Amino acid sequence: MQHMNIIQQIAIWALPLLFAITVHEVAHGYVAFKLGDPTAKRLGRLTLNPVKHIDPIGTIVVPLVLLVASGFQFAFGWAKPVPVTWTNLKSPRRDMALVAIAGPATNLVMAFGWGAIAKVAQLTGGPSHNFTLLLMLMGTAGILINLMLMILNLIPIPPLDGSRILSSLLPPKMALLLSRVEPYGLIILVVLIFSGLLRKVLVPSVFLVFGLIASFFGLR
């Protein structure tokens, strides 16, 4: 990908990134709906139409800056959170964890889906054909983006999904203490990003799982 210009590389990463963020949020809303909360459905958020989910900063600006700054090696972003009314859930503490884990789990499934696309492209034409080369590169980008979102969201810093999962496992008093960190969660993430600590944790984990998926599909 290093021989392509910025416009071409953005085109390769844009579709997987948009799908990864959008489907992640829809998964939260869909599981919440199945567990008794119709809030997301009532607000029209159970749709794959990305316009309903795009956050100008988290879906466009942050991923673009990170992609260009990292030489198209590292990116993540976020969409507008799907609203969940926890009191509507049948068993709020248990269901909170199920709703939270739905997003990262969906990203893992999509990572395998993009791996399958890359494998089909490899078998049908490989890098010698422009269209299959595009699919191979897009498939690789799709795996990386979804793994980045999955692992990032499993970090137990509010409001990331990992904090919701951890809260459901903690005693109520400790869960309350964790929830009080949420107003400062974005600041903590920004500090971790610009200090380089987040990348040091995220990138090795992403490439470990990426290697497993590549081996599963026999990707070169």
Sign of CA pseudo-dihedral 204, 105, 176, 159: positive
Report the C-alpha gap between 206 and 220 in whole angstroms.
Answer: 17
Burial of 85 (0-12, 13-18, 19+ CB in 10 A): middle
Quick one: DSSP state of residue 80? P
Report the C-alpha gap between 175 and 180 in whole angstroms.
Answer: 9
- And the tokens for 5? 């210009």
Q: Which residues are catalytic?
A: 25
- And the tokens for 123? 């078998």
Closest alpha carbon to 1 in 72, 74, 75: 72
Closest alpha carbon to 97 in 45, 40, 147, 154: 154
The overall longest dimension of the chain from CA atoms, in Å, is 59
